[in-house]
Amino acid sequence: MQLSIVVPVRNEAENVLPLLAEIHAALDAPQVNFGDFEVLYVDDGSSDATPQRLAEALARYARLRVLVHRERYGQSAALLTGFRAARGDWIATLDGDGQNDPADIPKLIAARDGAARAGLQLISGFRKNRKDAWLKRVASRIANGVRSGMLGDATADTGCGLKLIARAACLELPVFDHMHRFLPALVQRAGGATLSVEVNHRPRSHGKSHYGVAGRLWFGIVDLCGVLWLKRRAKRPQVSERVRE
């Protein structure tokens, strides 16, 4: 299988069925021809009607798989659960709130196929025109600037949930909470190349955000220091093999 779509969700009951319909419409379009795909929803301990909506979706979509966390473990843990269960050689991720546009997934695939970059392992979405509240946009711009300056990952918008990543690279990622915010730097740390592509961003139609600006700021500072330490400690030996003469 060539592609797995991984969608982490928590309390997104109203967004499950509309987003799934959009994902299938985007990937079943006649002009899109890259092979079979699967969709994995990871329910991170939802307490609303998300499990019921996912049960309905399972009856509608043969390509859908649903993985469930008994408790809330966070977005990074949900993504890692999806990465490990995925069958595709490449994995596309998007947030379950409907703000990422599934129609951009083929765009990321086209960017991967058209890029003349050796070792390309991650294509990250760049939300140039974000549809969030001004405070969230300003906080994100500052955080992205600080992160990019310290880590040198050359990524304008690492927080965008829409990404395309090689499954082999996913399985080599260090495991820690909030690691999903640093995927480009972590892939680069392991020797992979990354690329940013401008994508669409939409207002949230249903539900409410699960993140607060203040909480993300303090966690982000601690996590950034940890990722910087990981990057500086990384070693990639150049290996050659001797053969019998």
State how far Cα 131 lies from the chain centre.
18
- Please give the Cα distance from 142 to 148 (Å, whole number): 10
What pLDDT digit, counting tens, does each position of 180-235 carry? 888 998 999 988 999 999 999 998 877 666 555 555 555 566 677 777 777 777 76
Torsion of CA 213, 218, 219, 224, to 10 degrees: 110
What local confidence, expressed as pLDDT, does residue 204 receive? 82
Element (H, E) at 41: strand 37-44
Q: What is the mean pLDDT of the chain?
A: 86
194: phi then psi, degrees, rounded to nearest 5: -130, 165
Q: Is 126 helix (H, G, I), strand (E, B) or coil?
A: strand
DSSP 167-221: HHHHTTSPP-TTGGGGHHHHHHHTT-EEEEEE--B----SS--S--HHHHHHHHH
What pLDDT digit, counting tens, does each position of 51-108 carry? 999 999 999 999 999 999 999 999 999 999 999 999 999 999 999 999 999 999 999 9
**pTM: predicted TM-score of the whole model, two decimal places:** 0.84
Are the CB atoms for 217 and 139 separated by under 8 Å? yes
